[in-house]
Amino acid sequence: MANVTLRNVVKKYGVLEVVHSINLEIADSEFVVLVGPSGCGKSTTLRMVAGLEAISGGEVQIGGRVVNDLPPRERNISMVFQNYALYPHMTVRENLGFSLKVAKQAQPVIDDAVDKAAEILSLTPLLDRKPGALSGGQRQRVAMGRAIVRHPEVFLFDEPLSNLDAKLRTQMRVEIKKLHQKLKSTIIYVTHDQVEAMTLADRIVIMRDGHIEQVGTPLEVFENPLNTFVATFIGSPPMNLLDAVVKDGKLAFSDGTLIAIPPGYSLAEGQPVTFGVRADNIMPVGHALPHGEHMAEVEMEVNLTEPLGTETLLFSVLAGKEVQAKMFNPRPVQTGERMTFQIMLDKCHLFDAETGAALKR
Amino acid sequence: MKRLKLPPWLVLLLPAIIILSAVVLIPLVFSLYSSFTSYRLTRPDSIFNWVGLFNYEKAVTDVKFWAAFGRTVLLLAVALNLEMLLGLGLALMVSKVTSGQRLLRTMMMFPMMFSPILVGFQFKFIFNDNVGLVNNALQSLGITDQAIPWLVDGNLAMFSIIFAEVWTATSVFGILILAGLYAIPRDPLEAAKVDGCTSLQSFRYVTLPFLMPFIYIAMAIRSLDVARAYDIVQIMTNGGPARRTELLWTLIGRTGYVDARMGYANAMGYISIFLAIFFTVYFFKKLTQSRRELGMGA
Ligand SMILES: Nc1ncnc2c1ncn2[C@@H]1O[C@H](COP(=O)(O)OP(=O)(O)O)[C@@H](O)[C@H]1O
Ligand SMILES: [Mg+2]
């Protein structure tokens, strides 16, 4: 078990800098998820920790030891790759035991460790097959088995579930979480899927364009996004964002709609802001959940509905921007129907219109 | 007038059938037939002198034939393995080069661009005991003060021939193995690094299994080539000295065209072909097997 520290870590490909001076402290046995859109530098960061990519600047420590110049095999890590990266010419058993074999462990030790890993991941009946004869989910489990056989100090996962179908992905997510609870090892997990990040992480690291935008527990980043990027990236559907200016102590949208300023903010007259509200906090009257005391009402026309069962998503337009709202205990809704919506102001967010940074309450 | 009506499939296949018979079938049947006669080029009517299996019996009891057979197998074994090892080394080095790789790849092909006859003459000169490059170099460097009889001593002559053979054909292995190196997926190699492999272990457990199909393809191609080796040997030593570099096809060529005993030569040829077929089938088997191990193909 070990903690991992990234200090001013930079990655350059030639003159192109793709990771810009990242700082991150990961505690022992913590499950940290790096999440961000494709191409933001998650894999590159992970591969620098693994030792598969040279570190152009800064320092990576594993267990208090600077590992910048150590090859992967001396870092005591294992990695699960997006495309499984199994050895196609070896059986599942040989794949699982390979790391111990090259470490010149005795055969009984290897057999023992392989059997244990196979048990944990229900791979026992597949041990004598080759990867070519396995399904995607089974291959993924072998890849994970190969990682746990060695009892590394740190596990690195690079989008391990993105090649699986939706149902299998949910199952494997649960298995990974169980695995972490059982092994209690440090995990760094990369994904572009915010649902995966929210459900798995002890702490989420949200990245964009080679920068870290926010670090926090899933609830922290969901409830207190530091900027509009995090606000729209985390949570589904993405947070509705509307441009507004402060006018006579109220918020005025561009179409003239006025609502009260969410409680706790002190704004100057005429200040331009971005108003953010999640679909969960804007609901048609009569179909709302119990709510706080600060409310605003707006009227909108529904032009699309997405029934999800326990709730229905309603798509409307307010001040020229699409707004998604949630209808709890849904009834059938006609498109074109005008409805009055309640906005729970306690749960709303204000951001600087220019920088997108969250305003302080 | 009633025209002869052939079925359309036959009409369509007729050109192919005619060409194939002219080019393949007739020579094949004729040579097979002649191997059962005492056919001599100098006496054309001997083609009708049926002798049954006499030529075959003579070949399998002929010490010279089996000596040539054994020497061909030896050449195959030594040359192919040497070429494979050198080609592998060459490919590994070229694959690590970061700039100018295209130029190096082209240069690797140079030896293949020369006719084997020219290569034979070239090495005949290089290994000549009086004016040859090798002896001159060795003598100027003071390593030896005698002329080493490269092409005159039986063992040295075999060595010289293998050397020439390796020089021409190592690049076949080099190029094919290089293609194999380019085709290796990056993921398993990275997984091996993370799994704790040293570079030697990565090579042995991951790279090499991926290269084996390519090595076997090269082996299959080259085993056909070497099994019919003729030109280089013919030029460099003419099978000499005293038949000590005699290979199957130099023996067969001499028997057929110098001694004019074509019936006997054809009989030996048919036995020899099995050697080539054996090696090719063997390497193709290995190829299929190594591909199956990688989960490729059936
Ligand atoms: N070998 C490379 N050479 C140049 N640029 C690269 C290389 N690998 C990745 N990049 C760039 O680095 C950025 C981050 O890539 P990556 O870490 O793979 O993103 P992701 O967050 O999707 O995993 C991307 O813009 C990508 O184009
Ligand atoms: Mg990636």
Q: Does B136 touch chain A (CB under 8 A)?
A: no
Are the C-beta atoms of residues A361 and A318 closer than 8 Å to each other? no
**Ligand 1 atom nearest A42 alpha carbon:** 21
Best of B194, B204, B208 to disrupt the A interface (most A CBs within 10 Å) is: B194
Written in H, E and C, the secondary structure of B54-72 is HHHHHHHCCHHHHHHHHHH
pLDDT band of residue A108 (cuts 50, 70, 90) is very high
Q: Are B194 and A79 an interchain contact pair (Cβ–Cβ within 8 Å)?
A: yes
Q: Within the 234-293 window of chain B, which residues sit less than 8 Å (CB to CB) from chain A?
A: 293
DSSP state string for A6-20: EEEEEEEETTEEEEE
Are the C-beta atoms of residues A204 and A33 closer than 8 Å to each other? yes
Q: Are A102 and B191 an interchain contact pair (Cβ–Cβ within 8 Å)?
A: no
DSSP conformational letter for B144: -
Cα–chain center distance at A226: 15
Q: What's the A43 CA to ligand 1 centre distance in angstroms? A: 7
Are the C-beta atoms of residues A224 and A33 closer than 8 Å to each other? no
**Domain spans in chain A, listed from the N-terminal domain onward:** 4-226, 240-352
**Confidence at residue A252, expressed as pLDDT on a 0 to 100 scale:** 93
Set of chain A residues whose Cβ sits within 8 Å of the Cβ of B196: 72-73, 99, 102-103, 150
Q: What's the A98 CA to ligand 2 centre distance in angstroms? A: 25
Among the listed residues B186, B164, B174, the one whose alpha carbon sits nearest the alpha carbon of residue B233: B164
Residues 6+ apart with CB under 8 A from B66: none
Q: Among partner residues A52, A88, A103, which is closest to B190 by beta-carbon distance?
A: A52
Q: What's the A34 CA to ligand 2 centre distance in angstroms? A: 10
Among the listed residues B123, B120, B145, the one whose alpha carbon sits nearest the alpha carbon of residue B135: B145
Q: What is the torsional sign of CA A137, A138, A139, A143?
A: positive
Among the listed residues A48, A51, A32, A67, the one whose alpha carbon sits nearest the alpha carbon of residue A185: A32
Q: Which amino acid is at A263?
A: P
A54 ligand 1 Cβ < 6 A: no
Are the C-beta atoms of residues A177 and A200 closer than 8 Å to each other? yes
Phi, psi of A62 (to 5 degrees): -125, 120
Q: Name the least confident of A124-133, A163-172, B13-22.
A: A163-172
Predicted confidence (pLDDT) at residue B117 exceeds the cutoff of 80: yes
Are the C-beta atoms of residues A272 and A310 closer than 8 Å to each other? no
Output Rg (C-alpha) for chain B, integer angstroms: 24
Q: Whose C-alpha lies nearest to ligand 1, atom 19?
A: A39
pLDDT band of residue B239 (cuts 50, 70, 90) is confident
Q: Higher model confidence: residue A304 or residue B239?
A: A304
| Per-residue pLDDT reduced to its tens digit, A226-237 | 999 999 999 989
Residues 6+ apart with CB under 8 A from B129: B135, B147, B148, B149, B150, B151, B152
Pick the CATH number of A4-226 from 1.10.260.40, 3.40.50.10860, 3.40.50.970, 3.40.50.300: 3.40.50.300
Q: Whose C-alpha lies nearest to ligand 1, atom 14?
A: A41
Q: What's the A11 CA to ligand 1 centre distance in angstroms? A: 10
CB–CB contacts below 8 A, A to B: 71
Q: What's the A180 CA to ligand 2 centre distance in angstroms? A: 22
Among the listed residues A110, A135, A108, A109, the one whose alpha carbon sits nearest the alpha carbon of residue A122: A135
- Mean pLDDT on A57-65: 94
pLDDT band of residue B297 (cuts 50, 70, 90) is low
Q: Among partner residues A73, A79, A83, which is closest to B197 by beta-carbon distance?
A: A73
Cα angle for residues B275, B277, B278 (degrees, 5° grid): 65
Are the C-beta atoms of residues A150 and A110 closer than 8 Å to each other? no
Nearest CA in chain A to B212: A89
Set of chain A residues whose Cβ sits within 8 Å of the Cβ of B297: none
Topology of domain A240-352, CATH = OB fold (Dihydrolipoamide Acetyltransferase, E2P) (2.40.50)
**How many residues belong to chain B?**
298
pLDDT band of residue B6 (cuts 50, 70, 90) is confident
d(CA A298, CA A251): 12
Nearest ligand, CA of residue A12?
Answer: 1
**Ligand 1 atom nearest A40 alpha carbon:** 21
Retrieve residue A170's tokens: 């949910």
Best of A52, A73, A138 to disrupt the B interface (most B CBs within 10 Å) is: A73
Report the SS3 class of residue A71. Answer: coil
Best of B98, B189, B190, B195 to disrupt the A interface (most A CBs within 10 Å) is: B195
Residues 6+ apart with CB under 8 A from B20: none
**Confidence at residue A288, expressed as pLDDT on a 0 to 100 scale:** 78
In angstroms, the first-to-last Cα distance of chain B is 56
- Mean pLDDT on A143-166: 91
pLDDT band of residue B2 (cuts 50, 70, 90) is low
Q: What is the torsional sign of CA B88, B93, B96, B98?
A: negative
| Per-residue pLDDT reduced to its tens digit, A207-263 | 999 999 999 999 999 999 999 999 999 998 999 999 999 998 899 999 889 999 999
Q: Does B201 touch chain A (CB under 8 A)?
A: yes
- pTM, two decimals, is 0.83
The shares of helix, strand and coil residues in chain A, as percent rounded to the nearest 5, are: 25, 35, 35
Q: Among partner residues B187, B196, B209, which is closest to A73 by beta-carbon distance?
A: B196
d(CA B23, CA B1): 35
DSSP conformational letter for A81: -
Min Cα separation B207/chain A (Å): 10
d(CA A140, CA A65): 31
pLDDT band of residue A196 (cuts 50, 70, 90) is very high
Q: Whose C-alpha lies nearest to ligand 1, atom 17?
A: A41
Q: Judging by DSSP bridges, how do beta strands A240-247 and A211-216 pair with one another?
A: unpaired
Structural domains in chain B, CATH included, are: 62-293 (1.10.3720.10)
| Per-residue pLDDT reduced to its tens digit, B175-218 | 999 999 999 999 999 999 999 999 999 999 999 999 999 999 99
Answer whether the bond into residue B213 is a cis peptide, omega within 30°: no
Predicted confidence (pLDDT) at residue B298 exceeds the cutoff of 70: no
| Per-residue pLDDT reduced to its tens digit, A313-358 | 999 999 889 999 999 989 999 899 999 999 999 999 999 999 999 9
**How many other CB atoms are there within 10 angstroms of residue A62's CB atom?**
23
**Confidence at residue B208, expressed as pLDDT on a 0 to 100 scale:** 94
